[in-house]
Amino acid sequence: MLDYKTSIAYLDGKFIDFKDANLSIASSPILYGLTIYTVMSANWNKEKKQLYIFRLKDHYQRLVNSAKIMDLHSFAENSSYAQFEELITSLLKRNNVKQDVFVRVSVFVDELIAGTKIHGLKNSLSAFVYPSANLYSASGIHCCISSWQRTPDNSQPSRAKVNGSYVNSSLMKNEALLNGYDEAIALDQHGHVTEGTVANLFLVRDGTLLTPDNSTDILEGITRNSIIQLAKDLNIPVTLRPIDRSELYIADEVFMCGSSARITPVLSIDRRPIGSQKSGVLTQKLSKLYNDLQHSKALDTRSWLLQV
């Protein structure tokens, strides 16, 4: 079993021991949260004895997009996809990974006491591997609508996966846990449903899969995009549109999804039961297909898997 504390990590152009991959307390990521990141899964197929990275190109592109939004100019200039692929596959091979894991990659302003400046400063990249674990209970979770509003895109960019933005999510999660829930659901400034603290949200009504559209201050999740495409493969109607809070209460099914969250059924919201308070039929179908595809147990028609 992989122990990330004794694993090999990557920092500023070198593979080093995880314990030595540290940043100064005076660095921009520590002082101002000036870091973007992505988390991807690498999944082990026991029968084939083979490791597969899920949608690596899309995770690279999300880093590129986040870097553009945050003006971390040198990442895309200095890191081609081919170089990124070589880095991630080398990291996994060096750690001799033979289990399901996550790989977290960060790009950050690598300066000391630089204030809130971003443009023109040095950028560096880090990456490390850690064992895959269930973020939520596989049987389902109980959620509440947060009293904290989702930060609007015009204040902090929702489409960029920025470390500093997760203060908003942390306040929501903390409130939910203190009040006896597993997770929080955020509303935007117009009162429309956005997402959970670290996962996108779907609901099912009358056989149609619904999810908040891209204008509702959500992260345009890679897992979310995967679910939309897999649903279409199963001939499940999919609609992206604004969703009101009260519509959640009368949904037939609700689930969260994300690289770390996978697909997790929501059993209740604000103590109102969702459906039969069990994983619904469409949730189960999508979850099985998603898991099978990640582990190369289903046909990969879109070249989402990279064999390590």
The pTM for the full model equals 0.96
Q: What is the mean pLDDT of residues 162-188?
A: 97
Q: What is the pLDDT of residue 12?
A: 87
Every domain of the chain and the residues it spans? 4-131, 141-294
pLDDT at 36: 97
Please identify, in words, the CATH class of the domain defined by 4-131.
alpha beta
Select from 174, 115, 196, 184 the least CA-distant residue to 143: 184
Going by CATH, does the domain composed of 141-294 fall within 3.40.50.150? Answer: no
pLDDT in tens, 97-140: 999 999 999 999 999 999 999 999 999 999 999 999 989 999 99
Output the CA–CA distances (angstroms, integers) from residue 123 to 29, 41, 46, 87, in the order listed: 11, 24, 38, 16
**Of 30, 55, 27, nearest to 41 (Cα)?**
55
pLDDT class of 73 with cuts at 50, 70, 90: confident
Residues 258-290 have pLDDT tens digits of: 999 999 999 999 999 999 999 999 999 999 999
Which pair of structure tokens corresponds to residue 194?
A: 């956005």
Q: What is the pLDDT of residues 184-198, one digit of tens each?
A: 999 999 999 999 999
